[in-house]
């Protein structure tokens, strides 16, 4: 018996079972009579608890900090300790999923671009339909605003298809200064090399086996898989495209981003366009090791 509530119930049980006085029962249990007679004046916070449970049911992979940001948007201001207490009392803790093993070693930091459209990162994510067929998703993220620019789902995504999607994306967003990706066959194809020459966009390939050099898109892929792909059973390609479009809209305009101070990527993009930062300050993109050499060099914008 540790908590006062448990000891109070023990005192009541002893008195009812043996007919003892309150003083004698408190002496046996080891609790003060003042503690037994105390009645909490703390408010029940039923409405806040109910709203917190509703948000946690909709956002099953959100912790108490991100749920607190959503409550603040609705005008419910709570201190960190009270929010954490209600979160624990309602048993809303996110169950940690066991992931794959990750490589250990030194991780060189990558500087954040100074404005939108300075650097885009792209990568592929794969998933399966309920009948076992596989499909792939092309994800493109702006490294400065963390905005998801596009999510293209299809059963096959070739280099030519990627080039067409990038052309359509540039028509909407403008031309980026640099693209960052891994060394996948689709992204090293002749179609992509031809696209780089025609569009005059610099393309940086990270070192093989070093996904942390493309950390922004890797982090986004983790959120996409944890909050969308692992939460949905896809029945068809049209179903997958509809779910991804809704999640992309939610990610950009509703979901608070902790690295942006609780703002959404869309808010960050609007703020960056109205208040542009320094235009062409050199920024470290990645640390690339030359094949056959022991030294490392930095690639700069």
Residues 138, 227 share a domain: yes
Asked if the structure places residue 107 within a domain, the reply is: no
pLDDT digit string (tens) for 107-143? Answer: 344 456 788 888 999 999 999 999 999 999 999 999 9
Residue 285 confidence (pLDDT): 43
Residues 257, 216 share a domain: yes
Closest alpha carbon to 7 in 35, 40, 44, 42? 35
Q: Give the C-alpha separation, 92 to 64, whole Å.
A: 8
Asked if the structure places residue 148 within a domain, the reply is: yes
H or E element that contains 123: strand 119-128
pLDDT digit string (tens) for 24-46? Answer: 999 998 888 888 888 877 788 89
H or E element that contains 57: helix 46-58
Asked if the structure places residue 146 within a domain, the reply is: yes
Q: Which residue segment(s) compose the domain that 170 sits in?
A: 119-272
pLDDT digit string (tens) for 62-110? Answer: 999 999 999 999 999 999 999 999 999 999 998 776 654 433 333 344 4
Residues 174, 62 share a domain: no
CA-CA-CA-CA dihedral for 247, 251, 255, 261, to nearest 10:
170
pLDDT digit string (tens) for 174-195? Answer: 999 889 999 888 998 899 989 9
Residues 246, 221 share a domain: yes
Q: Give the C-alpha separation, 300 to 219, whole Å.
A: 22
pLDDT bucket at 276, cuts 50 / 70 / 90: low
Residues 165, 253 share a domain: yes
Predicted TM-score of the model (pTM): 0.70
Residues 84, 28 share a domain: no
Per-residue three-class SS string for 129-171:
CCCCCEEEEEEEEECCCCCEEEEEEECCCCHHHHHHHHHHHHH
Question: Mean pLDDT across the stretch 141-155?
Answer: 93
Residues 10, 128 share a domain: no
Number of structural domains (the chain) is 3
């Amino acid at each position: 018996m540790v908590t006062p509530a448990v000891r109070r119930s023990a005192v009541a049980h002893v008195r009812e079972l043996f007919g003892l006085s309150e003083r004698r029962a408190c002496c046996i249990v080891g609790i003060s009579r003042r503690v037994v007679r105390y009645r909490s004046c703390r408010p029940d916070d039923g409405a806040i608890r109910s709203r917190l449970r509703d948000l946690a049911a909709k956002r099953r992979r959100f912790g108490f900090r991100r749920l607190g940001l959503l409550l603040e948007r609705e005008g419910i201001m709570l201190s960190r300790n009270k929010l954490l207490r209600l979160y624990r009392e309602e048993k809303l803790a996110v169950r940690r999923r066991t992931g794959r093993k990750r490589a250990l070693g030194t991780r060189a930091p990558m500087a954040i671009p100074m404005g939108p459209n300075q650097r885009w990162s792209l990568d592929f994510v794969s998933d399966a339909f309920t009948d076992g067929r596989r499909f792939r998703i092309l994800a493109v993220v702006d490294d400065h605003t963390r905005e998801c620019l596009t999510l293209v789902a299809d059963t096959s995504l070739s280099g030519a298809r990627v080039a067409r999607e990038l052309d359509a994306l540039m028509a909407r967003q403008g031309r980026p200064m640099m693209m960052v990706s891994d060394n996948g066959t689709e992204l090293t194809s002749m179609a992509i090399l031809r696209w780089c020459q025609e569009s005059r966009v610099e393309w940086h390939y990270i070192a093989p086996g070093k996904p942390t050099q493309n950390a922004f898109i890797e982090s986004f892929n983790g959120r996409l898989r944890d909050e969308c792909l692992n939460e949905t059973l896809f029945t068809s390609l049209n179903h997958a495209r509809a779910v991804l479009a809704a999640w992309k809209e939610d990610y950009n305009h509703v979901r608070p981003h902790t690295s942006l101070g609780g703002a959404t990527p869309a808010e960050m993009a609007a703020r960056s366009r109205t208040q542009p930062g320094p235009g062409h300050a050199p920024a470290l993109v990645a640390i690339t090791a030359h094949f056959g050499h022991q030294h490392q060099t930095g690639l700069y914008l």
